[in-house]
Structure 1
Amino acid sequence: MDHNNILGVVLAGGKSQRFGEDKCQVKLGDRLLIDYILSEITDEFEEILLVANNSINFKKSKNITLINDFKKNLGPLGGVLTAMKWVKENNKNYQWISTFPADTPFFKTHILKKFLQAINFDENKLFFIKSNNTRHNIFGLWSIDLLDKLEEDLDKGERKVEIWANSIGVKSIDMHFENKDPFFNINTKEELAKAEEILKND
């Protein structure tokens, strides 16, 4: 599989309601939270699209483009559709988008590589990572062919990634991790404090 056919997409348009402020902009250790995921994926894709609702700070790179959600309050599915529309509107040749959340500081490049290597791209239109019996619905690979169906269902009011993916027919790629959970995500100040402890003991 030619990975030049894949656009990397970081979904950073969430409301961060439980956190109380834009969590991707808080500091964890000496870096912004969003820079952790960017540092792991920036060299893996020709281009990275950062989908947000506001102008945000991040470590700049020549292959990262920041855009706004085309419509607010549609959740992660809206961010996915925004990325797909960007591909079409800019006449890009990407056939797939690989999505990542902005709040998972312990995800590593080798997991992404293992995920992509395990995929038979002719087998399905949507793939998610599953680890230790938990499916991670934002760590996904989405065919651009899903654009019209996704837009139609969003217009009908669908907002939940889990439900939509199941209705489409998603294939899970199973992985297992013994120690630190690379999918630990930060939704609250307490979880940020826990991440600080993990970082100190790493």
Structure 2
Amino acid sequence: MNSTDAASPPDYPPTPAVILAGGLARRIGGGDKPMREIGGQTILNRVIARLASQCSGLILNANGDPARFSGFGLPVVADSVADFPGPLAGILAALDWVAEQRSGIQWIVSAPGDCPFLPRDLAARLHEVRDQQDAELAVAVSGGRTHPVIGLWNVRLRDELRRALTTEGLRKVDRWTARYRLAAVSWPTAPFDPFFNINTTDDLAEAERLVAQDNDGA
């Protein structure tokens, strides 16, 4: 698909990742939050680096002019549901794109574009625990907190998700995932939470501090 593609590891099925960057970033002054820099790199570059080696291709979900992301070499898919209904719309857009462009792919991983310290075993552990529990979906947890938009999604559920969004007006991720057998997969929060996300200018400053502590690199 692009220069960031990597061969899928042998112990779980080929799994593309969607990076969710369709939000409005109101709490940080608007604009494309993943394009802010920490440690001399954009947040988006750091997210890409974390996911590329563990996923069989990356997709960027973003609205507006896709040309602003052209330097990243990723397919950019916009929400297919109007009025910025939230991350479920981005997940649906990615599921539809994979169904149309990557025949035979059954799973995708999702992660927000403002999480620069994602674990490098995200896809592997989501698959492992989902399989162990015979669940239909899997979601990340850290410090007792669930991260609804960081998860593993089955492509076959895309039409059910579309109905929930367009017919029921459902917006909250955890309300939709509650309908299915859901595996909760926990990560440690030491030395820091791998799912730390950036919503405010204070978070940006904290992320700069964490970059210096991050022994796992970009």
- Relative to the length of structure 1, the TM-score reads 0.89
SS in structure 1 of the partner of residue 206 of structure 2: helix
- In structure 1, the residue matched to 2:80 is 70
- In structure 2, the residue matched to 1:95 is 106
Does the 8 Å contact 2:88/2:171 carry over to 1?
yes
> 1:112/1:88 Cα in 2 relative to 1: closer, same or farther (>3 Å)?
closer
Higher strand content, 1 or 2: 1
How many angstroms apart in 1 are the aligned matches of 2:79 and 2:46?
22
> 1:97/1:132 Cα in 2 relative to 1: closer, same or farther (>3 Å)?
same
Matched, 1:115 2:135: no
- In structure 2, the residue matched to 1:188 is 200
Matched, 1:46 2:56: yes
Shift of 1:177: 2.9
Matched, 1:172 2:172: no
Gap regions ≥5 residues in structure 1: none
How many angstroms apart in 2 are the aligned matches of 1:196 and 1:184?
12
Aligned residues: 199
How many angstroms apart in 2 are the aligned matches of 1:84 and 1:190?
33
Does the 8 Å contact 2:80/2:93 carry over to 1?
yes
- In structure 2, the residue matched to 1:25 is 35
170-179 or 111-120, which deviates more: 111-120
Gap regions ≥5 residues in structure 2: 1-10
CA-atom RMSD, angstroms? 2.0
Does the 8 Å contact 2:109/2:123 carry over to 1?
no
- In structure 2, the residue matched to 1:15 is 24
- In structure 2, the residue matched to 1:83 is 94
> 1:194/1:110 Cα in 2 relative to 1: closer, same or farther (>3 Å)?
same
**What letter matches 1:46 in structure 2?**
S
- Relative to the length of structure 2, the TM-score reads 0.83
SS in structure 2 of the partner of residue 118 of structure 1: helix
Does the 8 Å contact 2:129/2:183 carry over to 1?
no
> 1:121/1:95 Cα in 2 relative to 1: closer, same or farther (>3 Å)?
farther
Shift of 1:135: 0.9
SS in structure 1 of the partner of residue 116 of structure 2: coil
Does the 8 Å contact 1:35/1:58 carry over to 2?
no
39-48 or 163-172, which deviates more: 163-172
